[in-house]
Amino acid sequence: MLDADVFHRARQVAEHGAGHLLAHLHPSVSWTEDALRLARRQRPLSRTAAGPGLLLIPSVFTGPDLFTRVAPPDPPQLAYPARGTGTLWRPRPVTGTAALAAVLGRSRTLLLTELEAPASTTELARRTGLSPAGVSRCLTALRDAGLVSAHRAGHSVLYARTAAAESLLAAPGEQ
């Protein structure tokens, strides 16, 4: 879930800029041309006192609130609720994917549904019971079709659904 939030926020910055990300991060955060404002922060904090940068930390433990930490020379830190936290402990619904599986195949459709959050080949193989080689072949085909994207994260490559895949999965189909 945290990887998915970071991926979503990175996509927001790439498509709309940092101001858009900050303006839509949390209801108590506002962004103007020259300042980041937190509605419930007790004391104002100048840029020079805070130190360089801003570290955004998605969390599933903050509840609906934001938490800040300022300890120079570290950058100021802002912990915020990750997207989807409210659904973290709910059972995952079974969606009607039979029509999509008839077109893409059962394994590729299964992998697309498992990519709610970015995941590696090894993680997908573990979760689905497919062989790592089979997962790799399917992910290559899905990437070539523009349905998943690949992003390096340290020593791993994480795969994520594209907007096209989201549209396919959201299309009305057989339930």
Pairing, β 55-59 against β 77-81: parallel
pLDDT given at position 87 = 64
Same domain, 63 and 104: no
User: Domain boundary at 86, 114, 135, which?
Assistant: 86
pTM: 0.55
Confidence class for position 175, pLDDT limits 50, 70, 90: very low
Residue 16 has pLDDT above 50, yes or no: yes
Give the model confidence (pLDDT) of 80-131 as tens digits.
998 877 766 665 555 567 888 888 899 999 999 999 888 999 999 999 999 9
pLDDT given at position 146 = 93
The residue range of the domain holding 61 is 2-86
> What is the distance between the alpha carbons of residues 20 and 24, in angstroms, rounded to a whole number?
6
User: Domain boundary at 35, 62, 86, which?
Assistant: 86
> What is the distance between the alpha carbons of residues 14 and 100, in angstroms, rounded to a whole number?
30
- Which tokens hold the place of 20? 């858009």
- Which tokens hold the place of 75? 């950058």
In a domain, 92, yes or no: no
- Number of domains composing the chain: 2
Same domain, 77 and 107: no
pLDDT given at position 91 = 57
CATH code of 114's domain: 1.10.10.10
Same domain, 79 and 102: no
From the list 134, 131, 140, the residue with the least C-alpha distance to 159 is 140
Pairing, β 148-153 against β 77-81: unpaired
User: Domain boundary at 36, 66, 86, which?
Assistant: 86
Give the model confidence (pLDDT) of 29-86 as tens digits.
888 777 777 887 666 666 666 667 888 999 988 888 888 888 888 888 889 998 877 7
Same domain, 107 and 150: yes
In a domain, 158, yes or no: yes
pLDDT given at position 174 = 45
In a domain, 175, yes or no: no
> What is the distance between the alpha carbons of residues 169 and 115, in angstroms, rounded to a whole number?
11
